[in-house]
Amino acid sequence: MTLIRAACPDDLNAVVRVHQQAFEGFLMTLLGPRFLRGYYKCVLEYPQPIFLIAEREGQVIGFAAGFVNPPRFYAQLRQRKIPLALAAASHLVWRPHLWRRTLSSLRRAETLSSSEGEPALAELASIGVSTTAQGAGAGTQLVQAFLQQAQQYGAQEVVLTTDAHNNDAVNAFYQRLGFTCMRQFYHTPERLMNEYRIRLEQVESLHQEPTR
Ligand SMILES: CC(C)(COP(=O)(O)OP(=O)(O)OC[C@H]1O[C@@H](n2cnc3c(N)ncnc32)[C@H](O)[C@@H]1OP(=O)(O)O)[C@@H](O)C(=O)NCCC(=O)NCCS
């Protein structure tokens, strides 16, 4: 039985562990555990965080992290760029090839932080389930609970991005949950992203209990 609950500061280490497993080889993972901890702490300390934990038999097996009004969150993240850069510094020194991807992500965060605020929009920024627990319904429960909480915060729409290529299972996962791909964009010249959105008023099952 999977329990979904709000995250608290004591969960941060477990969230970092699940992230490292679920996102092996991704940029944020390569920037190291201190960076990941700083990033997720920033989500938790945001005034309207949507940060959920999936727990099975007392163990954290997954999480979903996001926020209402993305530009406001990215502005908060920007204010913490020096501690975050310091947290990632040792990993960047040993992996200089990460600089280009890091700068490209920083530029995206800068652009997002200065774009028009959308208080009725929530972003599902990160979702991960530990590799041993995947495929058993936790991810679906996390997304459904995320949509519910976004609606409670007054959001009308939820946005997320995911890789367009070599990522069929994840794209199918979001489509099955009712998300529609609204546009594609290049995050770096090699990395095409799908932007998915879902209108919360269209989601009829939001107030039903998860079945799995
Ligand atoms: C995507 C993810 C959060 C889904 O969580 P989950 O608990 O495995 O999802 P569920 O069990 O609720 O749903 C499984 C469905 O998702 C799809 N899926 C996506 N990735 C999967 C994976 N690694 N293992 C199993 N199913 C996966 C399957 O097609 C499956 O569909 P089905 O039920 O029709 O067979 C999880 O697989 C994960 O952490 N993946 C790695 C990190 C990632 O890619 N996150 C999303 C980035 S935007």
pLDDT of residue 82: 86
- Of 10, 123, 3, the C-alpha closest to 57 is 3
Residue 98 inside a domain? The answer is yes
Atom number in ligand 1 closest to CA 161: 48
* Amino acid at site 89: A
In this structure, what are the phi and psi dihedrals at residue 118, rounded to the nearest 5 degrees?
Answer: -130, 85
136: Cβ below 6 Å to ligand 1? yes
Tell me how far apart the alpha carbons of residues 132 and 205 are, in angstroms, rounded to a whole number: 27
28 in Cβ contact with 95 (< 8 Å): no
**138 burial class (0-12, 13-18, 19+ CB within 10 angstroms)?**
buried
pLDDT for residue 211 is more than 50: no
Domains identified in the chain, total number = 1
Tokens matching residue 154:
């007054």
What rounded mean pLDDT belongs to the chain? 89
Pocket probe mutation, ligand 1, options 129, 159, 181, max atoms within 8 Å of Cβ:
129
49: Cβ below 6 Å to ligand 1? no
pLDDT higher at 207 or 169: 169
CATH of the domain at 190: 3.40.630.30
Query: Containing H/E element for 4?
Result: strand 2-6
pLDDT higher at 22 or 108: 22
Range of 7's domain?
2-207
pTM equals: 0.90
pLDDT for residue 195 is more than 80: yes
Residue 198 inside a domain? The answer is yes
131: Cβ below 6 Å to ligand 1? no
Residue 212 inside a domain? The answer is no
User: What angle (nearest 5°) sits at the alpha carbon of residue 34, between those of residues 43 and 44?
Assistant: 15
pLDDT in tens, 75-119: 898 888 888 888 888 777 777 677 667 766 777 776 766 666 677
Residue 175 inside a domain? The answer is yes
Q: Where do the H-state alpha helices sit in 70-193?
A: 70-79, 81-94, 98-114, 138-152, 168-176
Residue 66 inside a domain? The answer is yes
Residue 177 inside a domain? The answer is yes
**98 burial class (0-12, 13-18, 19+ CB within 10 angstroms)?**
middle
Residue 203 inside a domain? The answer is yes
pLDDT for residue 27 is more than 80: yes
CB proximity list for 172: less than 8 A, separation 6 or greater:
none
Tell me how far apart the alpha carbons of residues 92 and 90 are, in angstroms, rounded to a whole number: 5
28: Cβ below 6 Å to ligand 1? no
Tell me how far apart the alpha carbons of residues 155 and 3 are, in angstroms, rounded to a whole number: 24
pLDDT in tens, 118-165: 779 999 999 999 999 999 999 999 999 999 999 999 999 999 999 999
Tokens matching residue 11:
């969960």
Residue nearest ligand 1's atom 2 by CA:
139
Tokens matching residue 146:
């995320």
Residue 145 inside a domain? The answer is yes
